[in-house]
Structure 1
Amino acid sequence: MKITDVTAYPVQGERRPYLLVAVDTDEGITGVGEAGLSGHEQAEVGACQQLRELVLGQDPFRTEHLWQVMTRGTFFPARGVLASVVSAIDIALWDIKGKALGQPLYNLLGGRVRDQVPCYTHLRGGRRTHDDPEGHHDAVEAARAAVAEGWRYLRFSPDDEDGVLEPGRSARRAARRMEALRDALGDDVELLVDVHTRFGLPEAVWFCDAIADQRPYFVEDALRSEYLEGYRRLRQASRVPLAAGEQLDSKTAFRPLLEEELIDYARIDLCNVGGITEALKVAAMCEAHDIRVAVHNPLGVVSTAACLHFNLALTPFGVQEQPYRPGVDAEVFPVQAFEFRDGALVPGDAPGLGVELDRDAALARRFDGSARLPLFRRADGSFTNW
Structure 2
Amino acid sequence: MRIVKVETFLVPPRWLFVRIETDTGVVGWGEATCEGHSETVRTAVAQFAEVLLQSDPLRIEDHWQVMTKAGFYRGGPILASAVSGIDQALWDIAGKHLGVPVHQLLGGHVRDRIRVYGWVGGDDPNEVKDHILEQLEAGLTAVKMNASGKMGRLGTVAEIDGVVARVAAAREVLGEHRDVAVDFHGRFTLANTRRVAPLLEPLRPFFLEEPVVPENSHLIGELARSTSIPVSTGERLYSRQEFLPVLQAGIAVAQPDLSHAGGISEVRRIASLAEVFDVQLAPHCPLGPLALAACLQVGFATPNFLIQEQSIGIHYNQGAEVLDYVLDKTPLQFVDGHIERLTGPGLGIEIDENAVRVADKLEHQWRSPLWRHADGSHAEW
State the TM-score bracket (shorter-chain normalisation). over 0.9
> Is contact 1:41–1:369 with CA below 8 Å preserved after alignment?
no
TM-score (norm 2): 0.92
1:45, 1:369 → 2: CA distance? 13
User: 2-side partners of 1:141 and 1:322: how far apart?
Assistant: 19
Deviations 1:194-224 (A, max 9, x none): 1100000111111111101111110000101
2:356 to 351, 362, 372: 362
Query: Secondary structure, in 3 states, of the residue corresponding to 1:341?
Result: coil
**Which residue number in structure 2 is paired with residue 71 of structure 1?**
68
> Match of 1:384?
379
1:187: Cα distance to partner? 0.9
Aligned partner of 2:325 in structure 1 is 332
**Counterparts of residues 291-306 of structure 1 (less than 5 Å):** 291-306=279-294
Are positions 1:285 and 2:267 aligned together? no
State the Cα distance separating 1:264 from its structure 2 match. 0.3
Q: Once structures 1 and 2 are overlaid, which stretch shifts more, 143-152 or 197-206? A: 143-152
Give the letter for the 2:340 counterpart. V
Structure 2 distance, partners of 1:158, 1:338, is 28
Aligned-residue Cα RMSD (Å) equals 1.9
Equivalent in the alignment of 2:85 = 88
Report what 2:192 is aligned to.
203
Contact map agreement 1:117 1:319 (CA 8 A) in 2: yes
Structure 2: give runs of 5+ residues left out of the alignment: 315-319
User: What is the match of residue 111 of structure 1?
Assistant: 108
Q: What is the match of residue 42 of structure 2?
A: 45
Q: Secondary structure at the match of 1:31?
A: strand
Unaligned runs of 5+ in 1: 128-133
Identity between Structure 1 and Structure 2 (%): 34
Structure 2 residue 364 is matched with structure 1 residue 375? no
1:220 pairs with 2:209: yes
The reply on whether 1:61 has 2:54 as its aligned counterpart is no
CA distance in 2, matches of 1:298, 1:257: 22
The alpha carbon displacement at 1:41 in A equals 1.3
Checking the alignment, whether the CA contact within 8 Å between 2:30 and 2:86 is kept in structure 1 is yes
Q: Helix, strand or coil for the counterpart of 2:133?
A: helix
Tell me how far apart the structure 2 counterparts of residues 329 and 277 of structure 1 sit (CA, whole Å): 23
- Alignment of 1:268 with 2:262, yes or no, is no
Structure 1 residues 319-328 or 69-78, which shifts more? Answer: 319-328
Residue from 99, 105, 110 that aligns with 2:96: 99
How much does 1:166 deviate? 2.5
Aligned residues: 371
User: What secondary structure does 1:142 align onto?
Assistant: helix
Quickly say closer, same or farther: Cα 1:329–1:149, change in 2 above 3 A.
Answer: closer
Structure-2 change in CA distance of 1:368 and 1:148 (3 Å) = closer
1:76-225 matched pairs, under 5 angstroms: 76-124=73-121, 127=124, 134-135=125-126, 138-160=127-149, 164-167=150-153, 168-169=155-156, 170-225=159-214
Instruction: State the AA in 1 paired with 2:164.
Output: A
Q: Does 1:350 align with 2:344?
A: yes
Residue identity opposite 1:324 in structure 2: I
Q: Are the aligned partners of 2:3 and 2:23 in contact in 1 as well (CA < 8 Å)?
A: yes
Q: 1:185 to 1:357 in 2, by over 3 A?
A: closer
1:110 partner amino acid: G
Distance 2:41 2:165 in 1: 40
Mapped to 2, the partners of 1:122 and 1:347 lie a distance apart of: 22
Q: 1:46 to 1:320 in 2, by over 3 A?
A: same
* 2:222 alignment partner AA: R
Partner residue, 2:4: 4
8 Å CA contact retained: 1:116, 1:344: yes
SS class of match (1:93)? helix
Quote the Cα distance in structure 1 between the aligned partners of 2:322 and 2:241.
35
TM-score by length of 1: 0.91
* Contact preservation (8 Å) 2:253, 2:282: yes
1:130 corresponds to: none
> CA-to-partner distance for each residue in 1:85-123, whole Å, 9 max, x for gaps?
100000000000000000011111111111110011001
Aligned-pair distance for 1:323? 2.5
Aligned to 1:131: none
For residue 351 of structure 1, give the secondary structure of its aligned residue in structure 2.
coil
